[in-house]
Amino acid sequence: MVGFGNRGHALADIAMVAHPSVTVLIDLSEDEPIVSDTHGRRVHGSVVAGLAPSELRVTGQRARECLQIRLDPIAAAALLDAPTELTGTAVSLEDVWGRDAAQAETRLRSAASWGERFAIAADLLGRRLDARSPVDPEVAHAWRQTLANKGRIRVDGLAAEVGWSRKRLWSRFRAQLGITPKRAARLVRFDHAAHLLAAGRSPGSVAIESGYVDQSHLHREVKTFTGLTPTGLAAEPWLAIDDVAWPTPSSTRD
């Protein structure tokens, strides 16, 4: 979790870059709510963006206060209603959280500090997670291996590891996480490459390190996920915010 706004990092009129998580933006503004736009569909206030959202832009007349929560898709499957329908798009928090959404917003707005807000959010998520069924352990293992290998992994190998056929893994993975294993691997690999580009690495070296066939392959994948060139992606403000808001031991995420 990370807080944005007057008491945290700025968040206003910025495009979101696809990331291997389900993103929850809880609007803490008292008036003039933030607006999220994807595929020409505008959502006011708190929003949930599924895996690989395209053309998602968060805007406002001025910097807003909001809480961003990144959910592992395994957790999202247990926490949200119909999370698989979120892939590639965004909906209001109420659509997947129900009546609890408004109550959560009220509690978070009234908190005296970001620390208190984080504690409230963790409590809300924990209670909801305890009351719901997790995904298949085989699906969870396949996802975690995909992350651990930065997307450079074969579906056949994952299926063999969990003792399932390729067809069964493909079907269960898609039904529970809303994305195929191959698409998930592409997204994870893209995310790794995107942060290498944002760290100043050349497209050629990033293509090699990230496992793309060549620089043209990297260019096509960046275009698919963002509509940008690798150079354009490297300059995206969302990635600059990302490394501030979600610090890692290495700026290149090795």
The fold of 137-245 is Arc Repressor Mutant, subunit A (1.10.10)
Q: Which pLDDT score, from 0 to 100, does residue 217 have? A: 96
* Six-digit token string for 213: 């066939």
Nearest-5° Cα angle at 22, 97 to 161: 120
From 159, 157, 225, 156, select the one nearest 192 (Cα to Cα). Answer: 225
Which overall architecture, per CATH, does domain 2-130 show?
Answer: Sandwich (2.60)
Q: What is the pTM of this model?
A: 0.84
Residues 53 and 91: their CA atoms lie apart, in Å, by 11
Where are the chain's structural domains? 2-130, 137-245
Q: Which residues, other chains included, contact 187 with Cβ-Cβ below 8 Å and sequence gap of 6+?
A: 18, 20, 51, 52, 151, 179, 225
Quickly tell me which residue has 């247990």 as its tokens. 78
Give pLDDT tens digits along the chain (254 positions).
Answer: 888 775 444 555 667 788 898 888 888 877 666 666 666 667 778 888 888 765 666 665 555 688 889 998 998 888 887 656 667 777 888 888 888 888 999 999 999 899 999 999 999 998 888 767 678 999 999 999 999 999 999 999 999 999 999 999 999 999 888 889 999 999 999 999 999 999 999 999 999 999 999 999 999 999 988 888 999 999 887 776 666 666 655 443 43
Q: Which residues, other chains included, contact 168 with Cβ-Cβ below 8 Å and sequence gap of 6+?
A: 159
Residues 188 and 152: their CA atoms lie apart, in Å, by 9
Q: Which pLDDT score, from 0 to 100, does residue 36 have? A: 64
Residues 212 and 214: their CA atoms lie apart, in Å, by 5
Nearest-5° Cα angle at 69, 171 to 172: 5
CB-based contact 93:24 (threshold 8 Å): yes
Residues 3 and 68: their CA atoms lie apart, in Å, by 6
The neighbouring-strand residues paired with 57 are 15, 37
The neighbouring-strand residues paired with 9 are 4
CB-based contact 245:9 (threshold 8 Å): yes
List of long-range contacts for 94-101, beta carbons under 8 Å, 24+ apart: 94/46, 95/48, 96/48, 97/48, 100/124, 100/128, 101/46
Q: Which helix (H) or strand (E) covers residue 164, if one does?
A: none
